[in-house]
Amino acid sequence: MPFNFSRLDLPEAILIEPRLFADGRGWFMESYKKSDFEQAGITVPFVQQNQSLSETGTLRGLHFQHQPKAQGKLVRVLSGEIFDVAVDIRRNSPTCGRWIGVTLSAENRKMLFVPPWCAHGFYVSRGPAEVLYMTTDEYSKPHESGFLWDDPRFGIDWPGQPEFLADRDRQWPAFEPVDWAELNGDAS
């Protein structure tokens, strides 16, 4: 299999390491293959792709979209390095409020699948960082939401203080668990 899938401390959050094929010309890798992802439990369709460029010290997040427009994300870095974070925001989840963080970079080529019931954000530890991510639903402004990146109830160990933070990311409310509707036939 051209991928190594590693389960993380949040159910369905998966770290993906693609296999690299290198020779004198350079290298090649598969960054997505539906059948392999489905075999690893990632069965959602991806319908939108986004790309951002951020300078060192930028923090983006913590964002999510409410049902019925919740977005799962497959995140990868094309240049630079980020500390990528997902937080379980489901009220009735045994991992409610728990976060995971992984380093994604152009060099390690790792990807993170962020389930739709997570708030997501990242800190740019080495920029400029170009981040590419596919989503399982389209962006919908009326369903957009978020929580404060530094909410003490999360206790996220960010690698630095943000130098660049959007006004909306400064103004998100404190964490309040979300009543999450049935997702993909699985009550979560």
Domain ranges of the chain: 3-22+30-171
pLDDT of residue 181: 60
Mean pLDDT of 85-90: 97
Known catalytic residue at 133:
yes
Q: Which CATH architecture does the domain made up of 3-22+30-171 adopt?
A: Sandwich (2.60)
Nearest alpha carbon to residue 148 among 176, 170, 115: 170
pLDDT over 70 (residue 35): yes
H-only helix segments in the chain: 34-39, 167-171
Identified catalytic residue from 63, 66, 120, 123: 63
pLDDT over 80 (residue 187): no
**What gap in Å lies between CA 156 and CA 173, rounded to an integer?**
16
**What gap in Å lies between CA 188 and CA 16, rounded to an integer?**
23
pTM here is 0.92
pLDDT of residue 118: 97
**Residue 137 has what DSSP assignment?**
S
How high is the mean pLDDT of the chain?
A: 93
pLDDT of residue 180: 75
Q: Pairing between strand 164-165 and 58-65?
A: parallel
**What gap in Å lies between CA 58 and CA 161, rounded to an integer?**
9
Q: What percent of the chain has pLDDT over 70?
A: 95
**What gap in Å lies between CA 151 and CA 156, rounded to an integer?**
8
Known catalytic residue at 63:
yes
Question: Are residues 181 and 147 in contact, defined by beta-carbon separation less than 8 angstroms?
Answer: no
pLDDT over 80 (residue 151): yes
Question: Are residues 115 and 39 in contact, defined by beta-carbon separation less than 8 angstroms?
Answer: no
pLDDT of residue 188: 41
**What gap in Å lies between CA 101 and CA 83, rounded to an integer?**
6
Identified catalytic residue from 32, 120, 133, 143: 133
User: Model confidence at 46, in pLDDT bands (50, 70, 90)?
Assistant: very high
pLDDT over 90 (residue 105): yes
pLDDT of residue 185: 38
Q: SS3 for 85?
A: strand
